[in-house]
Structure 1
Amino acid sequence: MTIHLHAGDLPDGLDLGARVAVDTETQGLSLVRDKVCLVQLSSGDGDAHIVQLDRDGYHCPNLKALLADASVEKIFHFARFDVAVLLRDLGVETAPVFCTKIASKLIRTYTDRHGLKDVVREIAGVELSKQQQSSDWAADDLSPAQLEYAASDVLYLHQVADGLSAMLARENRTALARACFGFLPARARLDLAGWADTDIFAHS
């Protein structure tokens, strides 16, 4: 594994292919308070690219162009949160998306364990370390342990997405999953507008 750390933006001319695994690290989990600090990406080749964002303006045109590129599928785990913070801070709507958490909940109905660690363990056969999950991602200098943790969140998403896709196809749930993925930008806008905890589809 090679970790490429980029200051502010992806380098010019970097081609990560037609499917890119993406994750974010934020100062916390509040969509009101906590800014995005890092964006991690992988083309599925075993390497990770980590963009340490300049939170004063978020000037990152190459990263924004990739996230908005309709020809590139972005693979997330729990895309709802990442898509929302990227829309809020970078002003970009990320699409199209494949969310491994949604896929897991649609197809791994034999379990209630849909966290990244659990899904990667079952589908990819890899045990992820979560020791750096609570960490100061806004620090100017990130430790090797922080970088390895951030990278691990994207390194296996292609493999996981492929495994879950095969399961969805087997059970004829691919179209349903794709419809859910397509709704994620709207779900993110609802979250940011104040409907995060309200089921607008409920009768009551």
Structure 2
Amino acid sequence: MGSPITPHRSFKDLDILVDDQLQFDKHINLIAYSAKLKSRQILKTFQWKNPCLYFRLYDTYIRPVLEYCCELFDPSNATLANKLESPLRFFTRKVFQRCNMAFNSYTDRLSQFSMLTTLHRRTLLVLRTYHKIVINSYHFPSVSSYILPSHSNRAPYLFKINGQYFDCFLHRNLSMWNRVCKAINFKLSPVAFAKRVGAIPCDILIPPT
């Protein structure tokens, strides 16, 4: 009784850190730091010369840190996006060096093991969630208050913004969703959609800026 309540500029909900402006910059910095720390711990603990074993550990212990609820947070600038990419850049470089494997670049390291960038994987997860929302596989209250079908016979899942633009999941990712719909012009189950969207080249999903 009588104790003052200390104000906080950020809080965690379901392990997602959000500030009082509903921004996720602190969360992105936190998970990038945590992923880099786990990467160092794995490299310090194990001394294998088999890169596949290291990448399996990355997929198990590090990747989930970067991808958990990635539909909620969206890097607001290139600096934050690079921070999310940094753990995989660091980890692959150290693994290749330890295993005495030649490489030319980050892209080359990934291609040698058919790996995707963190951005590419995050984009696929966002699209799969978007698909489940528009086919009512996921419950999203009042979807029609945000987007409406464009009634295109060639692309049945093409949508347009309904009313005023809001910086929400459905609006923020609408242009990317419609771009993908033009490449996938028929209705698919979630499993079939995931397979088809995974085969779309990265430069179509994420056009160069």
How high is the TM-score relative to the length of structure 1? 0.31
Structure with the higher helix share, 1 or 2: 2
How high is the TM-score relative to the length of structure 2? 0.30
- Highest relative contact order (Cα 8 Å, sep 6+), 1 or 2? 1
